[in-house]
Amino acid sequence: MALTDGTYRLGPSNARLLIKTGRTGLGRRAGHDLTIEAVRWSGKAVLVVGDPDNASVSVTVETGSLKVREGTGGLKALTDADRAEIERTLAKRDLLHSTEHPTITFRSTRVAGTPQSFEITGDLTIKGRTHPITVHGQGNGDRLLHGWATVTQSTWGIKPYTAFLGALRLADEVRMEFEVTRLEPADAPR
């Protein structure tokens, strides 16, 4: 499918937003590398294929909508109880404080490149703190568009999760990934 100029709606019906974590520390073998998905979010992309300077992207994610989809590694399999506890920790207790900060937002400030290989620079706001990030992306195949950005949690005041007196820690850097499977015009009925 060729990309054409227009304003498009983004969300769980046509795209995925994932966070992938890693482990560090002496006890890293006990923990899991997690794949976490945002299940309630919305966004808008303005595509101007021949003039990326006039393109833009904005996304808003509900912090309480993060669901653990996969846990790899570890000494034992990730249980449903483990998933539920991780989701509670993410949203409320320690990391994102979803009551005080119900959303995470991204607003592009610059789009460069081609539909096949592009970079989107923008402002990411987490827990009321805004910092720039660069999203790297590609367009091709079944996924239409996909890409990634590396986010250092501590930059946004997030203390990476620790256990076993600090012997097991989530790595400070997490990888955020997106995948758009089809474009929905913003003016199309839902």
> Residue 1 has what pLDDT?
57
Mean pLDDT by 10 residues, the chain (190 residues): 85 95 63 84 93 95 88 71 74 72 96 92 96 94 84 87 57 91 83
pTM for the structure as a whole: 0.84
Other CB atoms within a 10 A radius of the CB of residue 137 amount to 20
- Alpha-carbon distance 104 to 90, whole Å? 13
* DSSP string computed for 98-163: TTT--EEEEEEEEEEEETTEEEEEEEEEETTEEEEEEEEEEE-GGGBEEEEEEEEGGGGTPPPPEE
**Residue 112, domain extent:** 6-185
- Provide the pLDDT for residue 143: 63
Task: Determine the Cα angle at 62 with ends 133 and 146, to 5°.
Answer: 50
Domain presence at residue 190 = no
CATH number, domain with residue 64: 2.40.128.110
User: Which pLDDT belongs to residue 167?
Assistant: 46
Query: What is the Cβ-side half-sphere exposure of residue 43, based on CA atoms within 13 angstroms?
Result: 30
Q: What is the pLDDT of residue 64?
A: 87
Domain count, the chain: 1
pLDDT number for residue 166: 47
Rounded CA separation 27/15 (Å): 35
Residue 1 lies in a domain: no
**Which residue is it, tokens 């239409």?**
144
Query: What one-letter code names the amino acid at 134?
Result: T
Which residue in the block uniquely carries the two structure tokens 């994610």? 61
- Phi, psi (degrees; rounded to nearest 5) at 15: -160, 165
- Is 70 within a domain? yes
Predicted pLDDT at 46: 95
